[in-house]
Structure 1
């Protein structure tokens, strides 16, 4: 700015108009604090600098398979920062980017993992007719009895390996809730999970 605050009314009003402030507020601030800069706002100051935030962004762009834990480790070792996963997630959201929380590694041995992958590849191209002869351990099977319909509910918290093969018995009138789309999706999900940890 060419005009300096010289204490005169004309100089103050010119500076106030350039800063879009009322002239009385401008003069009051200048006479009290000898500056027209605003005071810092309340609250905790930002922990990371703009440069550090950009470095985190570039690290995520360099390898987009990084999880939030990997970025926390990177910021601790390379940037000497101790930040949480939520802070890094907020920083990435500021750049319109996302990261993910890494899935836990399944507690299976290498033999079990190999057997499951083999099983998935063997059953990947089955038809609807083939799948209609299978009862999964996580589905709700309805067994009609003389008195009432009995529902057998099986909870399913682990990956499906225990699959019970049964031939459809039409005399027992067993109803199977089976969806080809869900089965194929689940098989691909298992394959991608286990191939990641090979």
Structure 2
């Protein structure tokens, strides 16, 4: 029986993201014996994440929860609780607002991300514990594990995977698992 947090995390498993050689916005995501191409921040990775820098934080981030577009995707199976996205669901990215890096509901005037996006990036969106459990202003918000743009175009700081590869991983994702960006 696990008696520490690190033993519990080892039991749950870990997703590891390594920058692809010679490509600052591309990566390889590994889980067990599986390896998938991935997209990361347009400006690569950093240990000093700042709001809007376009970089993916070099960190170990726990998986907290997820969202999905039930109107676009059917038969998505995962032990992770995936909330069906509604039009009113937003994510605050305004560093001076009390709800910074938290879900909020429309109408909401401060800067925010819409979770029901037209481009499909958040059709499956996994919330990572970056600057959430312990929040600091301007350290970056809305750092998610979500779907990619065509051609593995860079993200704004998240980790992106193809729909096919995400569907292969979803049955293994659980709250408390770690996504580790090296």
Bin the TM-score by the shorter chain: under 0.3
Q: Which has the higher helix share?
A: 1
- Higher-RCO chain (CA-CA 8 Å, sequence separation at least 6): 2
Q: Which has the higher strand share?
A: 2
